[in-house]
């Protein structure tokens, strides 16, 4: 059996496909690429062959890209889906159900295409269970806080609407933060630098696009949480971890990129729990109940029941979405950083681990009971253990000031 990654490229223009063949020729030892003209041919091939990655144009006669992607989500949810297109209506794309993981704009630089595919695949080994891979790959929307939508709508309707204020509201919601940053950092917006702040993101997107995104998320988030699990507490916990991780990185003199990674990874460190809650709400309630009753860490029960922890599931998802590898790595190993195989891992990983361990307020009912420090990991980094009292003071300050964000 070949270990090559199978990639399917779809476009209605033969000359585009010929160009793509030239681009991926240098990857022929790692990739097994196929090329078809249009959505109907793509579905025929997918019915006969297993594919890892689909790269498709959007504007095609007959079956367009959005229709093709919707069918792939329905029939082959494990496939990683990437849009490569010159023109398309992003608002229509959002309303159609956000069926792609990443977006690339034509003309696309050869290295950018190859790097996007390679980075998207980087976290696939985090999940050994194919059922979980399908679950995560299908996740285009996550449960969010209804109150946040009302606040955003009220702010945008105001005569003195402030996009800064909209960004601050979004930052309180894990799912909205993730989707806004995923969208604004897509190459279709032509940003030359990465946008790390929700407040920057909404300014870049504009009020109309933010409205479309919020309406779409609201229409998909009517799920009822099981007793004992609070989305508000999850988001509150995540925001405090992100803020504390950023402050720890700042205190240690890290550059702005590391500080931004620590903030985002901290906010998104529990996003894997939201993915599972979307499809297995009652089962996840059992995870929380058992963890509380038996005094076990929730990640251990998750692994026994689902085959992976929320950390691994979350890392796989943000990897699919194309967020930087430092963020995915910080999410993947934030519980046990000593297990990270990368000896040069960003300090963001350390900051998120410490922040999550210091943050005692549980985010999933009683799930986050006494997050333990990875003392072996911290002891290997000279001087870190001695800084705990200072970091504890930061945590107390952030908890005291949290009400000012509301």
**Within a domain: 98:** yes
In a domain, 133, yes or no: no
Per-residue pLDDT band at 282 (split at 50, 70, 90)? confident
Residue 110 has pLDDT above 80, yes or no: yes
Q: Which of 187, 219, 251 is the last residue of a domain?
A: 219
Closest CA to 90 of 82, 98, 81: 98
Per-residue model confidence (pLDDT) at position 365:
39
- Say whether both 207 and 250 belong to one domain: no
User: Could you tell me the pLDDT band of residue 404, with boundaries at 50, 70 and 90?
Assistant: very low
Return d(Cα 8, Cα 11) in angstroms, integer.
Answer: 10
Q: At what angle do helices 281-294 and 298-306 cross, to 10 degrees?
A: 130
In a domain, 137, yes or no: no
Same-domain pairing of 245 and 203:
no
Tell me, what's the pLDDT at 193?
73
Q: Are residues 344 and 278 in the same domain?
A: yes
Give me the CATH number covering residue 304: 1.10.3210.10
Same domain, 175 and 254: no
In the chain, how many domains are there? Answer: 3
pLDDT reported for residue 369: 37
Mean predicted confidence (pLDDT) in 103-114? 86
Domain co-membership, 277 together with 369: yes
- Across 86-95, 375-384, 397-406, which has the greatest mean pLDDT? 375-384
Check residue 47 and give its pLDDT.
96
Task: Please state the pTM of the whole predicted model.
Answer: 0.76
Do residues 102 and 175 both lie within one domain? no
Average pLDDT over residues 60-86: 90
Residue 45 has pLDDT above 60, yes or no: yes
At 139 the pLDDT is: 66
Residue 5 has pLDDT above 80, yes or no: yes
Per-residue confidence (pLDDT) for residue 361, from 0 to 100: 46
Whether the per-residue pLDDT at 150 is higher than 80: the answer is: no
Angstrom CA distances, 319 to 14, 137, 163, 240, stand at 31, 10, 28, 23
pLDDT band at 75 (very low <50, low <70, confident <90, very high): very high
Percent of the chain with pLDDT over 90: 28
- CATH code at position 69: 3.40.50.2300
The CA distances from residue 9 to 74, 79, 83, 98, 113, in Å, are 19, 13, 10, 19, 12
More confident residue, 314 or 92: 314
Say whether both 162 and 107 belong to one domain.
no
In a domain, 395, yes or no: yes
User: What number is the average pLDDT over the span 157-175?
Assistant: 86
- CA 121-89-157 angle, to 5 degrees, is 110
Q: Which has more pLDDT, 26 or 150?
A: 26
Whole-number pLDDT of residue 248: 95
The predicted model gives 162-175 an average pLDDT of 87
pLDDT band at 219 (very low <50, low <70, confident <90, very high): low
Are 392 and 362 found together in one domain? Answer: yes
Q: Give the list of residues 6+ apart from residue 372 with CB closer than 8 angstroms, or none.
A: 297, 357
Task: Say if residue 53's pLDDT is above 90.
Answer: yes
- Residue 92 maps to a domain: yes
Does position 227 have pLDDT exceeding 80, yes or no? no
pLDDT band per the 50, 70, 90 thresholds, residue 52: very high
Residue at which a domain ends, from 121, 154, 172: 121
pLDDT tier, 123 (very low <50, low <70, confident <90, very high otherwise)? confident
Q: What is the reported pLDDT for 142?
A: 63
Q: Are residues 316 and 360 in the same domain?
A: yes
Q: Per the domain annotation, does 127 fall within a domain?
A: no
**What's residue 203's pLDDT?**
86
pLDDT score recorded for residue 340? 92
Token pair, residue 336, equals: 């046990």
Domain match, 258 and 393 both: yes
Q: Which candidate, 114, 169, 172, 181, places its Cα nearest to that of 317?
A: 181
DSSP run (H or E) holding 216: helix 207-219
365-392: per-residue pLDDT in tens? 333 334 578 888 888 887 788 888 888 8
Segment 204-221 shows an average pLDDT of 71
> How do residues 315-324 score in pLDDT, each as one tens digit?
888 888 777 8
Given 219, 239, 254, which residue is the final one in a domain? 219
Range of the domain at 165: 146-219
Same domain for 280 and 256: yes
Domain assignment of residue 130, yes or no: no
The answer to whether position 226 is within a domain reads no
Looking at the fold, whether 212 and 331 belong to one and the same domain comes out as no
Per-residue tokens: 229: 């699990």
Orientation of helix 231-251 relative to helix 174-184, angle to 10°: 60
> What pLDDT sits at residue 231?
74
Give tens-digit pLDDT for 341-370.
998 999 999 999 999 988 864 444 333 334
Give the whole-number percent of the chain exceeding pLDDT 70: 83
- Is the pLDDT higher at 152 or at 32? 32
| pLDDT computed for residue 129 by the predictor | 67
């Amino acid at each position: 059996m070949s270990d090559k990654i199978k990639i399917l490229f779809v476009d209605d223009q033969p000359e585009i496909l010929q160009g793509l063949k030239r681009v991926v020729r240098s990857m022929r030892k790692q990739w097994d690429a196929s090329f078809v003209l249009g959505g109907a041919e793509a579905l025929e091939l997918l019915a006969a062959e297993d594919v890892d990655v689909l790269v498709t144009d959007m504007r095609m006669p007959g079956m367009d890209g959005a229709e093709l992607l919707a069918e792939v989500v329905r029939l082959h949810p494990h496939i990683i889906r990437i849009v490569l297109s010159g023109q398309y209506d992003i608002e229509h794309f959002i309303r159609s159900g956000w069926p792609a993981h990443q977006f690339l704009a034509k003309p696309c630089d050869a290295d950018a295409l190859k790097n996007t595919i390679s980075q998207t695949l980087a976290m696939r080994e985090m999940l050994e269970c194919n059922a979980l891979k399908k679950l995560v790959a299908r996740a285009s929307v996550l449960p969010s806080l209804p109150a946040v939508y009302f606040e955003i709508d009220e702010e945008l309707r105001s005569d003195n609407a402030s996009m800064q204020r909209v960004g601050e509201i979004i930052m309180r919601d894990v799912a909205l933060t993730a989707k806004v940053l995923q969208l604004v950092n897509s190459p279709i917006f032509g940003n030359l630098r990465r946008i790390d702040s929700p407040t920057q993101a909404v300014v870049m997107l504009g009020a109309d696009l933010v409205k479309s995104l919020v309406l779409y998320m609201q229409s998909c988030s009517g799920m009822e949480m099981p007793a004992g699990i609070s989305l508000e507490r999850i988001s509150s916990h995540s925001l405090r971890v992100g803020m504390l991780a950023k402050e720890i990185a700042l205190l240690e003199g890290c550059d702005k990129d590391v500080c931004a990674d620590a903030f985002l990874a901290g906010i998104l460190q529990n996003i894997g729990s939201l993915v599972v809650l979307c499809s297995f709400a009652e089962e996840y309630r059992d995870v929380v109940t058992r963890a509380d009753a038996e005094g076990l860490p929730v990640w251990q029960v998750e692994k026994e029941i689902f085959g992976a922890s929320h950390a691994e599931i979350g890392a796989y998802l943000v990897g699919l979405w194309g967020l930087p590898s430092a963020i995915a790595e910080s999410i993947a190993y934030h519980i046990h950083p000593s297990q990270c195989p990368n000896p040069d891992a960003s300090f963001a990983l350390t900051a998120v681990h410490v922040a999550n361990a210091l943050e005692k307020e549980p985010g999933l009912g009683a799930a986050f009971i006494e997050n333990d420090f990875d003392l072996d990991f911290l002891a290997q980094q000279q001087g870190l253990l001695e800084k705990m009292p200072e970091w504890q003071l930061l945590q107390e300050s952030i908890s005291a000031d949290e009400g000012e964000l509301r």
